[in-house]
Amino acid sequence: MPLASPEPDGTGAQPASDPVAALESALKSLDVSFDAPRPGAFLVRLSGQHKLATMTWLIAGAHSLHVEAFFCRQPDENHAAFYRFLLERSGRMYGVHFALDPVGDVYLAGRLPLEAITPDGIDRLLGCVLSYSDENFDQALMLGFASAIRKEYAWRVKRGESLANLRAFARLTDGAEPGAQARLQA
């Protein structure tokens, strides 16, 4: 069934006549790898430095573009500070905001007009998702999972395991264990 003719939005932009094809074309032009597990739904893997991968759904609907990316599971502790941290950021974000699913896991989610389905629009949207996920990940984990990070740190120190991926959380650990500082630096 063809889309109804949209009302002009004052910008002169019109929604793509085939938003699914436009989204697939935009993703291909950006040279990002993606899967299309069902019609209109594209799963993009965004590689970061703090959050190593942010799996992002882009779903072209009849009236809007839906974007959703898993951020982290529900916090173990310090709920008020954790959620305040995320809410304070949501008001300054483009295209997506922090949201919770029914079990309390945290996502980046948004809905944009079909006019956003252009190579530049999708590039901006994916860049924002990656930035928000990567830039806020370590602080969110420190707020909501400090005890688990400390336990993981102690376990790794005890076993002589690498501490390299715990470097970002060094202020949560005392680093006093023999050799721990050197392994944090490695």
pLDDT one-digit tens code per residue, 168-178: 898 998 654 54
- Number of compact structural domains in the chain: 2
Tell me, yes or no, whether 10 lies in a domain. Answer: no
How high does pLDDT run on average in the chain?
Answer: 88
**Confidence (pTM):** 0.83
The answer on 48 and 99 residing in a single domain is yes
Ranked by mean pLDDT, which of 1-10, 50-59, 166-175 comes out on top?
50-59
9 pLDDT more than 50: no
Question: What pLDDT does 183 receive?
Answer: 46
The answer on 130 and 61 residing in a single domain is yes
The answer on 152 and 136 residing in a single domain is no
Range of the domain at 166: 148-185
Rounded distance, CA 159 to CA 25, Å?
Answer: 49
The answer on 55 and 31 residing in a single domain is yes
* CATH at residue 78: 3.30.1460.10
Strand, helix or coil for residue 142: helix
The answer on 152 and 81 residing in a single domain is no
Question: What pLDDT does 178 receive?
Answer: 46
Tell me, yes or no, whether 6 lies in a domain. Answer: no
